[in-house]
Amino acid sequence: MKYLITESQFDKVIFKYLDNQDFKNVFYGHNIYFVNSKEDEYAQIKFNYTSKWCTVSEELMNEVSNFFSLINADSISAINKWVENKLGEEFSTSNVERNIIVHYF
């Protein structure tokens, strides 16, 4: 049996998946980091409020891509929409990094 779902319904499923990751938000300087725990050295997502730049970890991109059978570009798009929804901030620029170091200063 095949099911057809709209893009917005699919986004909701991915949003629920990301919500269940239970990320902790860590604010430092102009950045907010989404980390698995407050002591993490590496973040899953970093957003800079000044430049409106979002960086997604390669690990999270691959996890979402593999779990939902998406190409990387689609998983990045869905993660970006989730971040915009969480922060109430729109941005048009994002990138992927292997390791997003949390700068504690």
pLDDT tens for 3-27 read: 677 777 888 999 999 999 999 999 9
The pLDDT score that the predictor gives to residue 104 is 64
CA angle 76–81–82, rounded 5-degree value:
95
Task: Answer whether 0.85 is exceeded by the pTM.
Answer: yes
pLDDT tens for 34-43 read: 999 888 889 9
| pLDDT over threshold 80, residue 76 | yes
Least confident of 33-37, 38-42, 74-78, 86-90: 38-42
> Would you list the domain boundaries of the chain?
7-101
Complete DSSP assignment for 50-103 = TTTEEEEEHHHHHHHHHHHT--HHHHHHHHHHHHHHHHT---SEEEEES-EE--
